[in-house]
């Protein structure tokens, strides 16, 4: 019985095995048939051509979209790039070909060495770059000689070109060759010389501007000369990106910010020559590209100021200029940057690679006082006429808290306090309103917020809270820290962009607008929402900002001069970078000029114009620039004057 079943099963297995064997046999036959079809039948297609000719598949890189300003002036565009390549399998002797080439155009021994080692490493049919950005003249010379230059190919590519160089570099960003870690498997990224956005708009809108590559068959002869191109797909151009920036204003603001309070003189001025002759090197970051250098009243050549400025339309949030200095020339990345220049960019203490307008984090200093005043007004713990006497110093807890004016301001109301930037008044408000409500008001004005408006690398800043401090340092919040925060010092941090947004929201009637960098047709004007602030309170604060510039005791009253055709308001801030010791306070050795650059105060100014009907807003931060009203205020004034002159928001 068991034996019978065993036999039955054995027979069944054998039968099934035979069936399976048959299936596999036919599948093998299918593979063989397919192989035959591909290698014999389809191969016929390629054999109809002469022996020397063959088809290559060519991947045509797409043309990158441009970056335009609000008036369609290109900030980033493409220009023809003539390149020479060598294909080692098409020449008997690479070194000999290069020697011949050297007789026609300049090829440095360094690049010869690079080319020789690259041709050894790469497969023999892969073209190796010999040189790029050739002049038309050189191209013509090489073209005539091609019969004697086997393996040399002339190729026209596209190079990214930034006509405004470093003036808009922190907006446009730059493109560079893709790094190993950025490869996604998309073959177009592996084309030699293909570049992608590495920072700025180039990075954040890379995929939109990149477009789509096309694949095309080309028939080439044995020398690699293209005989004919077969019709194929068309490349898809990348899309343009149009910004709200006004490049005129942007250029002006960049130059003005870099100039600071120094005199701008041409680079061929005898004074510059003298400085160089005396063996003094130009300071790091000195930029003769604009044809000018900074010089102070004693004739010393100075580095351009390091800082940021943002100009915005307070009605619709358009960012009209966004400046960070010093910058660098993004074209140098397109044409290849040497190691020394790159090292220089990275080691420069004024960090030209960082977009300080969105990434730089600074304490707001006295520019924060409007927020504290509003917090106190809205909480009902103070009103416009609340009077406080400033003796120059108060004791609170176990510490002494100073006003910037050693001898005190006497009796002040709120508008006076803003006008004269009295610290004691703010300490009093801070005691009444508390850190929580100050922080809440700051958040309503955009502190601690990122806007994702199109530029990469936005910093969040910091609104300090007791909970935050406990989490970060494991320590309790001191009441004294509330006082320090109320004058914009201590832990609190913000970006120049956030300062501009704050000022917009102050002057537009308390509407929570966000910065806008992309120009699109269906732009919303004023947001209908509101921060729900009492208009009377906003008026009080704006009155104070008016007085800062136009009042008889305003901290920035000296920036007003007769030539001015407009009026503006604003608020200065000077942020201590280094704690002032008791000794220094006593001896009065506080002059910014006498301190080393990195210990000087940051100078800030936020401003708006026109005074009676505010439309444009500017924030200026000058790193280690000294006093806000002496360094940053004149810059803000000139930028606003230029803004009103250009009036970019007019219809």
The residue among 402, 401, 422, 400 whose CA lies nearest residue 411 is 422
Nearer to other proteins (CB atom), residue 57 or residue 277: 57
CB of 33 vs other proteins, minimal distance in Å? 10
Q: What sign has the CA pseudo-torsion 324, 329, 334, 337?
A: negative
79 and 101 Cβ atoms separated by less than 8 Å = no
CB of 233 to other proteins, least distance (A): 8
Residue among 48, 51, 106, 123 that touches other proteins (CB under 8 A): 123
Smallest gap from Cβ 132 to other proteins, in A, equals 20
Residue 79 pairs in a beta bridge with 159
Q: What is the CA radius of gyration of the chain?
A: 33
Give CA–CA dist 157/69, Å, rounded: 25
CB of 185 to other proteins, least distance (A): 8
CB of 408 to other proteins, least distance (A): 58
Give me the residues paired with residue 607 across strands: 570, 618
The H or E element containing residue 440 is: helix 423-444
Specify the residue, 36 or 411, whose C-beta has the smaller distance to other proteins: 36
| Distance separating alpha carbons of residues 546 and 563, to the nearest angstrom | 19
Determine the Cα–Cα distance for residues 447 and 493; give it in Å rounded to an integer.
8
Alpha-carbon distance 415 to 543, whole Å?
6
Q: Where are the beta strands (DSSP E) in 480-615?
A: 569-575, 602-609
* H helical segments located in 292-411: 331-334, 339-347, 356-359, 369-379
Residues 231-260 that bind other proteins (CB under 8 A): 233
C-beta of 243: minimal distance to other proteins in Å? Answer: 30
Task: Identify the bridge partners of residue 613 per DSSP, sorted by sequence position.
Answer: none
Query: Which C-beta is closer to other proteins: that of 32 or that of 346?
Result: 32
| DSSP secondary structure letter of residue 454 | S
Binds other proteins by CB under 8 A, chosen from 52, 96, 125, 524: 125
Query: Which residue, 44 or 278, is less far from other proteins as judged by CB?
Result: 44
Q: How far apart are CA 514 and CA 312, in angstroms?
A: 10
Q: Which is nearer to other proteins, 60 or 263 (CB)?
A: 60
In this complex, which beta carbon is closest to other proteins, that of residue 217 or of residue 536?
A: 217
Number of residues near other proteins (by CB under 8 A):
48
Least separation in angstroms between residue 178's CB and other proteins is 15
- Cα 140 to Cα 90, 96, 260: the distances in Å are 21, 21, 47
Nearer to other proteins, 6 or 208 (CB): 6
Helix runs in 37-131, H state only: 43-47, 94-104, 109-121
Residues 44-63 that bind other proteins (CB under 8 A): 45-47, 54, 56-57, 59
Binding to other proteins, residues 3-32 (CB under 8 A): 3, 5-6, 8-10, 12-14, 16-17, 20-21, 24-25, 27-28, 30-32
Least distance to other proteins from the beta carbon of 159, Å? 23
Q: Is 190 in the site for other proteins (CB under 8 A)?
A: yes
**Bridge partners, residue 617, by sequence:** 312, 608
Quote the Cα angle for 127-133-139, to 5°: 80
- Residue 122 or 203: the one with the smaller Cβ distance to other proteins is 122
Beta carbon of residue 25, minimum distance to other proteins (angstroms, whole number): 8
- Map residues 207-236 to x or -, x wherever contact with other proteins holds by CB under 8 A: -----xx-x-----------------x---
647 is an interface residue for other proteins by CB under 8 A: no
Taking the complex as a whole, the smallest distance from the CB of residue 183 to other proteins amounts, in Å, to 11
Q: How far apart are CA 324 and CA 354, in angstroms?
A: 8
Phi-psi region of 38 (alpha: psi -120 to 50; beta: other; left: phi over 0): alpha
Name residues contacting other proteins, limited to 359-378 (CB under 8 A).
none
Question: Which has the closest alpha carbon to 311: 242, 241, 243?
Answer: 243
CB 162 within 8 A of CB 169: yes
Q: Is residue 140 involved in binding other proteins (CB under 8 A)?
A: no
Contact 153, 224 (CB under 8 A): yes
Site for other proteins in 495-514 (CB under 8 A): none
Report CA dihedral (14, 17, 22, 24) to the nearest 10 degrees: -160
CB of 389 to other proteins, least distance (A): 60
- On whether the CB atoms of residues 624 and 306 are closer than 8 A, the answer is yes
Q: How far is CA 131 from CA 106, 111, 260, 328, in A?
A: 9, 8, 41, 24
Nearest-approach distance from CB 124 to other proteins, in angstroms:
8
| Interacting residue with other proteins among 34, 99, 183, 524 (CB under 8 A) | 34
Whichever of 185 and 270 has its CB closer to other proteins, that residue is 185
Nearer to other proteins, 43 or 144 (CB): 43
Q: Among 36, 411, 473, 566, indicate the residue that binds other proteins (CB under 8 A).
A: 36
Q: Residue 29 Cβ, how far from other proteins at the closest point, in Å? A: 9
In the complex, what is the shortest distance from the CB of residue 191 to other proteins, in angstroms, rounded to a whole number? 10
Q: Which is nearer to other proteins, 47 or 612 (CB)?
A: 47
Q: What is the dihedral of CA 451, 634, 68, 190, to 10 degrees?
A: -70
- x/- contact string, 534-573, with other proteins (CB under 8 A)? ----------------------------------------
The single residue among 67, 167, 188, 483 that binds other proteins, judged by CB under 8 A, is 188
Q: Is 408 exposed, middle or buried (0-12, 13-18, 19+ CB in 10 A)?
A: middle
| Site of interaction with other proteins (CB under 8 A) | 2-3, 5-6, 8-10, 12-14, 16-17, 20-21, 24-25, 27-28, 30-32, 34-36, 38-40, 42-43, 45-47, 54, 56-57, 59, 123, 125-126, 185-188, 190, 212-213, 215, 233
């Amino acid at each position: 019985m068991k034996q019978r079943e065993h036999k039955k099963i054995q027979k069944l297995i054998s039968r099934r095995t035979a069936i399976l064997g048959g299936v596999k046999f036919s599948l093998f036959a299918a593979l063989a048939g397919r192989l035959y079809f591909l290698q014999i039948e389809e191969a016929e297609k390629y054999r109809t051509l002469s022996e020397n000719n063959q088809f290559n598949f060519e991947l045509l890189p797409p043309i990158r979209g441009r970056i335009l300003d609000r008036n369609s002036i290109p900030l980033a565009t493409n220009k023809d790039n003539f390149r020479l390549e060598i294909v080692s399998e098409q020449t008997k002797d690479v070194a000999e070909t290069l020697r011949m080439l050297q007789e026609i155009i300049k090829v440095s021994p360094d690049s010869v060495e690079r080319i020789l080692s690259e041709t050894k490493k790469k497969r023999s049919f892969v073209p190796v770059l010999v040189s790029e950005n050739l002049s038309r003249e050189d191209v013509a010379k090489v073209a005539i000689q091609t019969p004697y230059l086997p393996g040399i190919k002339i190729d026209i590519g596209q190079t990214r070109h930034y006509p405004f160089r470093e003036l808009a570099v922190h907006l446009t960003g730059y493109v560079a060759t893709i790094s190993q870690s950025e490869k996604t498997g998309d073959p177009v990224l592996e084309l030699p010389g293909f570049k992608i956005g590495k920072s700025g708009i180039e990075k954040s809108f890379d995929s939109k501007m990149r477009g789509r590559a096309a694949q095309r068959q080309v028939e080439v002869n044995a020398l690699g000369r293209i005989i004919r191109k077969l019709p194929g797909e068309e490349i898809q151009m990348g899309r343009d990106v149009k910004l709200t920036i006004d490049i005129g204003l942007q250029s002006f603001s960049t130059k003005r910010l870099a100039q600071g309070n120094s005199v701008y003189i041409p680079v061929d001025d005898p004074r510059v020559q003298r400085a160089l002759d005396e063996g003094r090197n130009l300071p790091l970051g000195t930029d003769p590209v604009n044809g000018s250098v900074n010089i102070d009243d004693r004739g010393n050549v100075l580095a351009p100021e390091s800082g940021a400025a943002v100009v915005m339309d307070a009605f619709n949030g358009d960012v009209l200029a966004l400046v960070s200095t010093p910058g660098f020339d993004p074209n140098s990345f397109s044409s290849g940057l040497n190691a020394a220049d790159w090292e220089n960019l990275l080691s420069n203490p004024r960090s030209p690679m960082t977009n300080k307008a969105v990434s730089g984090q600074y304490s707001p200093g006295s520019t924060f006082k409007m927020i504290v005043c509003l917090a106190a007004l809205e909480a009902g713990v103070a009103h416009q006429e609340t009077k406080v006497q400033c003796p120059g110093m108060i004791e609170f807890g176990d510490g002494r808290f100073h006003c910037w004016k050693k001898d005190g301001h006497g009796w002040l109301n709120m508008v006076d306090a803003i006008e004269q930037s009295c610290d004691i008044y703010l300490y009093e408000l801070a005691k009444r309103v508390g850190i929580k409500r100050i922080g809440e008001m700051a958040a309503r004005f955009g502190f601690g917020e990122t806007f994702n408006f199109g530029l990469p690398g936005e910093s969040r800043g910091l609104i300090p809270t007791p909970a935050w401090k406990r989490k970060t340092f494991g320590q309790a919040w001191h009441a004294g820290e509330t006082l320090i925060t109320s004058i914009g010092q201590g832990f609190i941090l913000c970006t120049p962009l956030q300062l501009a947004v704050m000022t917009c929201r102050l002057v537009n009637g308390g509407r929570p607008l966000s910065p806008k960098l992309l120009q699109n047709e269906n732009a919303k004007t004023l947001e209908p929402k509101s921060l729900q602030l009492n208009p009377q309170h906003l008026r009080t604060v704006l009155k104070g900002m008016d007085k800062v510039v136009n009042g008889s005791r305003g901290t920035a009253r000296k920036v007003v001069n007769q030539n001015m055709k407009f009026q503006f308001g604003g608020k200065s801030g000077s942020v201590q970078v280094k704690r002032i010791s008791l000794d220094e306070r006593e001896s009065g050795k506080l002059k910014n000029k006498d301190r080393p650059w990195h210990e000087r105060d940051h100078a800030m100014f936020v401003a708006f114009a026109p005074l009676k009907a505010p439309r444009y807003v500017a924030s200026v931060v000058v790193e280690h620039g000294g006093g806000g009203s002496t360094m940053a205020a004149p810059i803000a004034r000139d930028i606003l004057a230029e803004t009103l002159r250009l009036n970019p928001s007019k219809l």
